[in-house]
Every structure is written in C-alpha cells, then in structure tokens.
Amino acid sequence: MEELKSQLRVRKDNGKAYVTLNRPPANSYFLEYLLYIEETLLSLEKDKTISVVVINSASEKFFCAGADIKIFSNNSSDQNIEMVKAARKVTKTITSSDKIYIACIQGHILGGGLELAMACDIRLAKEGNYLVGLPEVKLGLMPGNGGTPRLIDLIGASKAMELLVTGDSVTPKRAYELGLFNQLYTHENFEEKVSVFVNNLAKGPKKAMKAIKNYVIQHKGMTAEQALQFETESVNKLYGTYDAIEGFKAFIEKRTPEFE
C-alpha cells in the first residue's frame, strides 16, 4: 500500500484537488494501481469542499501510457478483462461525479492514458513533441475503456475511424485542431494558464456546474424535444439557489460574484 501511495499523490487546495500520477517511467497502470486510483477518487467524492479535480503527471515526459504492457502480455485473458473492468470503474467514477475533472497533459498520452483523459470534462495541454493516440489496433485489439465512443463524440466519426483503425498517433497541435484538447498552452505560460483556468472554475457556482455536467453527459440519445425538456427541468432547479441570486445581484452591482 505504501508503494501505491507514493505512485499517486493527492493535494487539496481551496476547492481543488490535484491527483498526480507518479509511476515512472510512463505511469502505466496495472490492476492494483487502478483499484487504488478508484479508491482515491471515491474518497474525494465525499469531500464537498472540492469542486474541481485535476489529474496530472509528476513526469513531463509521460501523462500515461495506459496498461503496463509487460504485465498485460503475461496475464491471462481473464486477468486482462479484470484490469479493463477496473479501468472502467475509474472512468465511471469521473463521469458520474458532480465535480469537474480536468486532465492536465504535458507528455506522451497513449491508449488507456488517453481514455482516462477523455473521460475527464476538460483537457488542458502543453505544446510539445509528445505523442497522442490510441494504438490498440497495433496489438490486435481496440480501445476497451470508452475510448471508441468518446473519441467519436470529441472529434467526429470520420477522424475517429482513421485514428482507431491505423493506431497512428498525432501531435498535441493536431490533437488540439481536432478538438481532442480544449486548450493548448505554450511552454512558457503552461503552468500559469492552467492555474488561472482551474482557480476560476473552483470559484464558480457548484450547483450550476454540476447541472451542466449532468446535462452534457445524459442528453445523448434524447430527441430534440426531450433534450429541451431536460434543459428546462435542469435550469428550473437553479433559479432559487443562492448562487443564482448572488450572480444576478453581482451583475447589477457590477462586482465579482461570491458563489456559495
């Protein structure tokens, strides 16, 4: 357990939690590591003071390379299925959370690592020469932790098909152009820009952000009429909240709102 704790650092700071992958050289995961990540994220769910969770890496070279290939290749099929199930639990914890999850990327992000980032709500990246991709097809496989539908949602079916069937990686610049990354910052201002972005979110209205995340995730598959009705029901629950009242008052008084 002590070894796992050293491989996953957690720091809380004024409404934010930083979860740092620290398993050199590539932050590759295995079953027990995934279970520990899930346990850590579930513990953060209980902390109501946290509204934003940032997943990043202690390494500038790698964000995460996905499953540890040495372990994966030596496992039985059943063992690998259990590992993928554990990875799915991690991403489900992220997508079902009321908190906003941000992936902070500055190094190679491949396979399950990219699937982890795509499960997050927002992806902030640094310019660089690192690789971004889902190379599973080159191992005779395909993504198994939400990589296929999430990639399609983010960049469209045609471009997703190309990346999935070739297994080829792209540059961070290309990933940003495709819509896979939300922001692409320079080396010089990366940490500053990420800090400003995360701090601003942490000061935002938690109930409204929760409602927005819930809508974005759940509206898929709805008819236009259902989606509009769901939006109406969601916003109706916000009108009488402290944050909505404070937001209107601050706007009229031309000041920065102080949300709950």
Walk across the sheet containing 100-105 and list its strands. 8-13, 16-21, 52-57, 100-105, 122-126, 183-185
Instruction: Please tell me which residue in 115, 188, 191, 253 is annotated as part of the active site.
Output: 115
For residue 10, give the nearest of 52, 46, 44, 47 by alpha carbon.
44
The CA-based dihedral angle spanning residues 8, 11, 17, 22, taken in that order and rounded to the nearest 10 degrees: -20
Catalytic residue among 32, 45, 82, 136: 136
233 is catalytic: no
Q: How far is CA 8 from the centre of its chain?
A: 16
CA-angle at 95, arms to 34 and 231, nearest 5°: 175
The verdict on whether 177 is a catalytic residue reads no
At a CB cut-off of 8 Å and minimum separation 6, what does 174 contact?
A: 132
Which residues are catalytically annotated?
115, 136
